[in-house]
Amino acid sequence: MYSAKPEPIPNVLLVSSDPSVIDGVRGTFGSDYQMLAVDDSTPTIAAILEKGSPDIVVVIRESVDEDYLEALSGLMADSPLPVLVFVFTDPYRTARAAIRLGITSFVVDAFEAARMPTLIDVTLERFEQAQSLRNELVKSQEELAARKVIDRAKGLLMDRKNMSEEEAYRALRELAMRQAKPIREVAETLLTYSELLP
């Protein structure tokens, strides 16, 4: 009989200076989440993040301005994390800035601790999807860059060795196989040495 693999317990860094909010969220989480609550100063958050990355950062504040969001985003520049920001009011209209700065979810008003597990699940899923898209984009850019390098190397061989395009590509591929290197690396080496020749 098939049994689903249990999901790992998410490790939540809850950022709030309101004890009642922290108690409410902690009571809602039960044993479904591991939670560490800290005050909402960026130096405190930075100190926690230096010790290890949580699965998600949840910020609950009265309001935030763009400077706070920039500081929060900067803390995770090297190791992106899903971030859920919940504010009671948004006088600075920072929702668009939040998304632009890499905040995964931004929720305004009507705070209820009971909503947090669902909001966290949505934020985690949204972050995973965004990371997947970013990874696909990076892969596509790398593949395009590799094709350009290989095309330049083929052009060089066609010009200097009087080869056809197919012969030039076959020569690069065979050289890559002999050296046990990716064809892009071989093409880059060929182009580098060609620039050193008179």
Note whether 16 and 106 are same-domain residues. Answer: yes
Q: State the Cα–Cα distance between residues 125 and 169, nearest whole angstrom.
A: 42
- 77 within some domain: yes
Residue 3's pLDDT is 54
Question: pLDDT tens digits, the chain, 198 residues: what are they?
Answer: 555 555 778 899 999 999 999 999 999 988 889 999 998 888 888 888 888 889 999 999 999 999 999 999 999 888 899 999 999 999 989 999 999 999 999 999 878 999 999 999 999 999 999 999 989 999 999 999 999 999 999 999 999 889 999 999 999 999 999 999 999 999 999 999 887 655
Residues 124/82, Cβ–Cβ less than 8 Å: yes
**Helix H segments across 30-164?**
42-51, 66-75, 95-100, 116-160
- Residue 51's beta-bridge partner residues? none
> How many domains, the chain?
2
Domain hosting 89: range is 11-111
Note whether 83 and 157 are same-domain residues. Answer: no
> How far is C-alpha 61 from the chain's CA centre?
24
Note whether 107 and 141 are same-domain residues. Answer: no
Residue 194's pLDDT is 82
Note whether 18 and 101 are same-domain residues. Answer: yes
